Amino acid sequence: MCALLSASVLLFPSAVPNSLGNLGSLIENFLPWLGLAIPILLPLGVLRRSATALLALLAAAAVWAAQYGPSLLPQGSVEHDLTVVQHNVSDENDNPSATARTIIDAGPDLIALEELTGPAVAVYKATFRSRYPHHAVMGTVGLWSRYPLVETEVMDIRPRAIQRDWSRGLRATVRIDPRRDIAVYVAHLPSVRIRPSNGFDAQWRDESAALLGDAITADKTAHVLLMGDLNGTTKDRGLSPITSQLSSSDEEFEFSWPRAFPVARIDQVMGRGTTVTEVWTLPATGSDHLPLAAHIKLPGLSDEPAVTQR
């Protein structure tokens, strides 16, 4: 029964309701880990000599392998136009200069950072200055770029209940070349908590995701890139205002959080009119998140030029 239940949830996670402590969203953040039920239950099935139990385990293993097996296979090199790095650097990071060097070593064209503090911003500006002359910092999020930033603005994704000063989103128009602008969003959605009183508490995050999703919907730029700490995986239904519009790479096991034993990728690089062809994590820094790098493929320049329209 447990094996069939695991297989059913893997196939139809949306069938698990959120009415009970937001259980559906919680499970969706850890779907790959349901596969652990198979080796745990296998000895029990063998001891019971139950053909039915073993068939159920085989079915669960087949479902898991079909969904997540391809992510475990070696991936060939994929053509790309941009390399980007997304990193929640942590406001408790005591060595931002080392963090900056780790990011630079990946050779990105664009860098998105969250949980910036005043002293750390000064370090990142100084360290990135020679390679990334264009940057914007708004509140606790920032973007550094090899390419000019034509315009930048704050994105208001603050939940209604938060009355204090709170700025965790920005939008920038990045001019890749004279014929190619892309809209780049950097966002840090509110944290989620598991509480005895109401289970998986993601209300603020979901409200912030809806605001960000509305902004992306209204953005008529042909090529959109989102980098940020979304505090949820792309399978989490609470992020559907975003994930219904943007897509990412299928590497399921590039977990970015927590640093000590990563169990989920809650840092995301997603695109519309751009293709995220590959994602991978970088070495650990002084943050509780791992940096996430990604390759981005842009439509050919023979296509109709992208024009920023808002």
Dump the DSSP string for 234-267. TT-GGGHHHHTT-B----TT---B-SSS--B--E
pLDDT at residue number 305:
45
Rounded CA-CA distance 297/279 in Å is 12
The CATH number of residue 109's host domain is: 3.60.10.10
Two tokens at 279?
């994602």
Pure H helices in the chain: 2-11, 23-28, 37-48, 51-72, 96-105, 118-128, 203-218, 240-243
Please say if the pLDDT value at position 307 is more than 50.
Answer: no
Same domain (yes/no): 89, 49: no
Q: What is the pLDDT of residue 16?
A: 95
DSSP tag of 79 = -
Of the three residues 72, 107, 131, the one that is the final residue of a domain is 72
Q: Is the domain of 147 the same as that of 19?
A: no
Residue 228 lies in a domain: yes
Residues 169 and 196 in one domain: yes
38-52, 218-232, 281-295: lowest mean pLDDT where?
A: 38-52
Predicted confidence at residue 301, as pLDDT, reads 46
Q: What are phi and psi of 127, to 5 degrees?
A: -75, -35
pLDDT at 76: 67
- Kindly indicate the confidence band of residue 38, based on its pLDDT and cuts at 50, 70 and 90: confident
- Residue 269, SS3 per DSSP: strand
Q: Which of 5-9, 87-91, 275-279 has the lowest mean pLDDT?
A: 5-9
The set of residues, in sequence order, having a beta carbon less than 8 Å from that of 259 and lying 6+ positions away, is: 284, 287, 288, 289, 290
Residues 87 and 65 in one domain: no
Predicted local confidence at residue 78, as pLDDT: 75
Domain membership of residue 38 (yes or no) is: yes
Going by their DSSP bridges, the two strands 180-188 and 169-177 should be labelled as: antiparallel
Give the DSSP letter string of 125-155. HHHHTTT--EEEEETTEEEEESS-EEEEEE-
* 259-268 tens-digit pLDDT: 999 999 999 9
Q: Final residue of a domain: which of 18, 39, 72? A: 72
Residue 11 within any structural domain of the chain: yes
Strand partners, 225: 184, 271
| Dist. CA 97–CA 286, nearest whole Å | 10
Q: Does residue 272 or residue 196 have the better pLDDT? A: 272
Residue 302 lies in a domain: no
Q: Would 309 be classed as within a structural domain?
A: no
Look at residue 105 and tell me if it is in a domain.
Answer: yes
Residue 304 lies in a domain: no
pLDDT, mean over the chain = 91
Pairing of strands 180-188, 224-229: parallel
Calpha distance 256→122 (Å, rounded)? 25
- pLDDT-derived band at 248, boundaries 50, 70, 90: very high
135-159 tens-digit pLDDT: 999 999 999 999 999 999 999 999 9
Same domain, 66 and 89: no
Q: Are 113 and 124 in contact (CB under 8 A)?
A: yes
- Expressed in angstroms, the distance from the first to the final Cα of the chain is 52
61 and 106 housed in the same domain: no
Is the pLDDT at 302 greater than 50? The verdict is no
The pLDDT score that the predictor gives to residue 310 is: 45
pLDDT at 176 over 70: yes
What percent of the chain lies above the pLDDT cut of 90? 72
Q: How far apart are CA 293 and CA 98, in angstroms?
A: 17
In terms of domains, do 6 and 128 share one?
A: no
Residues 63 and 123 in one domain: no
How far, in Å, CA of 291 to CA of 84, rounded? Answer: 10
Residues 135, 26 share a domain: no
Q: Is residue 308 part of a domain?
A: no
Choose one of 30, 47, 72: the last residue of a domain: 72
The parent domain of residue 10 ranges over 2-72
**Residues 38 and 92 reside in one and the same domain:** no
- Residues 54, 91: one domain? no
Structure confidence at residue 195 (pLDDT) = 86
Q: How high is the pLDDT of residue 203?
A: 96
Q: Give the number of domains in the chain.
A: 2
Do residue 36 and residue 171 come from a single domain? Answer: no
Which pTM was predicted?
0.92
Range of weakest confidence among 22-36, 52-66, 244-258 = 52-66
Instruction: Give the model's confidence band at 70: pLDDT under 50 very low, under 70 low, under 90 confident, else very high.
Output: confident
What CA–CA distance (Å, rounded) separates 265 from 101?
Answer: 22
Look up residue 209 and give its two tokens: 């995701």
Percent with pLDDT over 70 in the chain: 92
